[in-house]
Amino acid sequence: MSFEDVYPYAAIVLLGLGTVLTRAGFLMIGDYIPLPERVRSALRYAPIAGLTAIIVPVLLPWEAGSLPQFDLKLLAAVVSVFVFIRTRNAFMLIASGMMALWSFRWIVSLF
């Protein structure tokens, strides 16, 4: 076997091992090394920051040197958030967002 044959498998194994060690290591020794309160309070915002980093570029696509472009996905997101606020139902959030996006695309295709 040549280096080119082994490299992808070695990379997958090493990256997986690194992921397991960093996550399992914190779970195993996390009780013995407590995090400071400032770090713990900052980590509470990590999920919403990650979700925002994923969703905002989808809703407001832009290119370097220009402003964000208006997209129908943003309108559908506004509709779905409004429905979620009214119903507090995650399924309705997804369903209303998809129905709104499909409806807006259909309406735009008529013109």
Helix axis angle for 46-59 and 72-87, nearest 10°, is: 140
Mean pLDDT, the chain, as a whole number?
A: 90
Residues in contact with 12: Cβ distance below 8 Å, sequence separation at least 6, in sequence order: none
The verdict on residue 25 lying in a domain is: yes
The verdict on residue 27 lying in a domain is: yes
The verdict on residue 1 lying in a domain is: yes
The verdict on residue 11 lying in a domain is: yes
pLDDT higher than threshold 90 for residue 77: yes
Lowest mean pLDDT among 5-9, 64-68, 94-98: 64-68
The verdict on residue 106 lying in a domain is: no
Instruction: Report the C-alpha gap between 75 and 71 in whole angstroms.
Output: 7
pTM over 0.85: no
Cα–Cα distance list, 78 to 9, 20, 39, 84, 85 (Å): 44, 38, 33, 10, 11
The verdict on residue 4 lying in a domain is: yes
The pLDDT of 101-108, averaged and rounded, is 96
The verdict on residue 20 lying in a domain is: yes
Determine the structural domain holding residue 5 and report its residue range. 1-34
More confident residue, 48 or 63: 48
Q: Note the pLDDT of residue 26.
A: 77
Could you give the number of structural domains in the chain?
Answer: 1
